[in-house]
């Protein structure tokens, strides 16, 4: 790279390139210049985007622009949320974020399905120089907000708040198109203030419901990821500064207790954009989705997305894969079929490739 970067953000673009943004660089200064990696060619500079905080939460949208949600980690409140045109460096502000100074270690997700182009920011806490250099503890918030990018002038609008105040939490997209929030605490790195009870967001109803409680507090340096079998694995955490959590837990969502699971078998494990893909399933289906595997750190997960896949038929079906690579960047996806009761199949791996 042209700059060393500590705590940057990475986001995959529709053409397979990867953008690196922010981070601490030379002489511990914030890196203001973005770079883009092209496989086989290396790194190139991008037009200036302006200064962003560490680990800024970025989401690729269907028109190719990248949205900064306002979530971050670090000692300064995040830059204003905005839409970034990578070709020109121009940033269009997205107003309306409630409690913008309380979004340190918030979580951000592109709500399912990705075609709806709605981004949700959840929780967070106050800003400080660094989480293990605190003189006084930081407190979390229950605040939630959603921005709709199909609107002519997108802006954040407040949504139903969490039941528990959380910072350091993780969001996980589930195959039935709900969003799970797990971990976090009302006070950072205070295991006694941990939110053990998970919560579930229904993007259609706009409501939260209560889920089972974990046994292990998941705070700073924790992760939560969807497994192909539909369960969620949680790991990591600093229940107090300097103490590392080594236990792992696996959570089984309610849909695994609703009855038999549908089966799904794809005709092949690779396809191109706009392809028709044959598949077989054991029952009539409610929906089929592509879920991108992802990685999370410091509550940030820029790759996570669920894309609706239209289909025809029953038993023997034909899937119509997305034709917009900015909606579903190239790479591997888990394909889930969901029956009329909301029970998902085991995810089948599919590589989506450009021609």
Expressed as residue numbers, the domain containing 310 is 259-353
Q: Is residue 100 part of a domain?
A: no
Q: Which of 100-104, 236-240, 324-328 has the lowest mean pLDDT?
A: 236-240
Q: Is residue 303 part of a domain?
A: yes
48 confidence band (pLDDT: 50, 70, 90): confident
Q: Tell me the chain's radius of gyration from C-alpha atoms.
A: 20
Contacts (Cβ under 8 Å, ≥6 apart) of 265: 279, 280, 281, 348
pLDDT of residue 77: 62
Count CA atoms closer than 13 A to 259's CA, side-chain side: 9
pLDDT at 26 over 90: no
Contacts (Cβ under 8 Å, ≥6 apart) of 346: 228, 229, 230, 261, 263, 264
CATH classification at residue 276:
2.60.40.10
Residue 62: which of 134, 116, 19 has the closest Cα?
116
Residue where the block lists tokens 């991008």 = 46
Residue 281 near residue 315 (C-beta atoms within 8 A): yes
Q: Is residue 311 part of a domain?
A: yes
pLDDT at 134 over 70: no
Q: Is residue 182 part of a domain?
A: no
What percent of the chain is predicted at pLDDT more than 90? 87
Q: Is residue 55 part of a domain?
A: no
Q: Are strands 270-272 and 348-353 parallel, antiparallel or unpaired?
A: parallel
Quote the Cα angle for 63-65-68, to 5°: 135
pLDDT at 115 over 50: yes
Q: Which two tokens stand for residue 274?
A: 């706009």
| Residue-wise DSSP of 213-240 | EPSS---EEEEEEE-TTS-EEEEEEESS
H, E, C per residue of 334-353: EEEEEECCCCECCCEEEEEE
Q: Which two tokens stand for residue 223?
A: 């992760």
* 8-state DSSP, 299: T
Q: Is residue 105 part of a domain?
A: no
Q: Is residue 63 part of a domain?
A: no
When divided into structural domains, the chain yields a total of 1
239 confidence band (pLDDT: 50, 70, 90): confident
Q: Which of 66-80, 95-109, 265-279, 299-313 has the lowest mean pLDDT?
A: 66-80
Other CB atoms within 10 Å distance of the CB of residue 161: 16
Q: Is residue 179 part of a domain?
A: no
pLDDT of residue 58: 97
pLDDT at 131 over 50: no
Q: Which residues pair with 209 in a beta bridge?
A: 200
Average predicted confidence (pLDDT) for the chain: 94
Cα–Cα distance between 124 and 142 in angstroms, integer? 8
Other CB atoms within 10 Å distance of the CB of residue 272: 15
Q: Are strands 197-202 and 179-182 parallel, antiparallel or unpaired?
A: antiparallel
Cα–Cα distance between 225 and 170 in angstroms, integer? 9
| Residue-wise DSSP of 245-270 | ----EEE--GGGGSSPPP-EEES-SE
Quote the Cα angle for 251-218-137, to 5°: 155
pLDDT at 188 over 90: no
Residues, the chain: 355
Residue 52: which of 75, 28, 68 has the closest Cα?
68
């Amino acid at each position: 790279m042209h700059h060393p970067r500590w705590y940057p953000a990475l986001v995959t673009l529709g053409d397979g390139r990867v953008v690196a943004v922010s981070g601490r660089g030379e002489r511990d200064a914030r890196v203001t210049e973005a770079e883009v990696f092209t496989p086989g060619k290396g790194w190139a500079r991008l037009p200036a985007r302006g200064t962003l905080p560490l680990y800024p939460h970025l989401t690729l949208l269907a028109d190719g622009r990248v949205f900064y949600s306002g979530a971050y980690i670090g000692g300064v409140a995040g830059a204003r949320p905005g839409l970034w045109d990578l070709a020109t460096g121009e940033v269009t502000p997205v107003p309306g974020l409630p409690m913008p100074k309380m979004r340190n270690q918030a979580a951000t997700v592109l709500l399912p399905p990705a075609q709806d182009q709605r981004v949700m920011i959840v929780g967070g806490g106050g800003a400080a120089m660094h989480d293990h250099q605190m003189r006084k503890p930081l407190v979390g918030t229950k605040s939630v907000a959603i921005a709709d990018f199909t609107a002519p002038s997108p802006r954040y609008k407040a949504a139903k708040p969490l039941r528990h105040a959380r910072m350091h939490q993780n969001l996980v997209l589930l195959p039935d198109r709900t969003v799970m929030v797990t971990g976090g605490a009302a006070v950072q790195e205070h295991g006694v203030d941990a939110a053990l009870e998970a919560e579930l967001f229904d993007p259609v109803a706009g409501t939260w419901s209560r889920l089972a409680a974990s046994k292990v507090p998941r705070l700073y340096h924790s992760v939560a990821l969807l497994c192909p079998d539909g369960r969620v694995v949680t790991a990591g955490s600093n229940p107090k500064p300097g103490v590392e959590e080594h236990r792992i837990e696996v959570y089984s969502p309610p849909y695994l207790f609703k009855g038999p699971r549908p089966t799904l078998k794809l005709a092949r494990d690779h396809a191109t954009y706009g392809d028709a893909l044959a598949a077989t399933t054991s029952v009539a289906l409610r929906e089929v989705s592509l879920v991108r595997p992802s990685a999370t750190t410091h509550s940030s997960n820029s790759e996570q997305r669920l894309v609706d896949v239209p289909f025809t038929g029953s038993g023997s079906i034909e899937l119509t894969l997305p034709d917009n690579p900015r909606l579903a960047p190239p790479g591997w996806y888990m394909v889930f079929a969901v029956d009329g009761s909301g029970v998902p199949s085991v995810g089948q791996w599919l590589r989506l490739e450009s021609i």
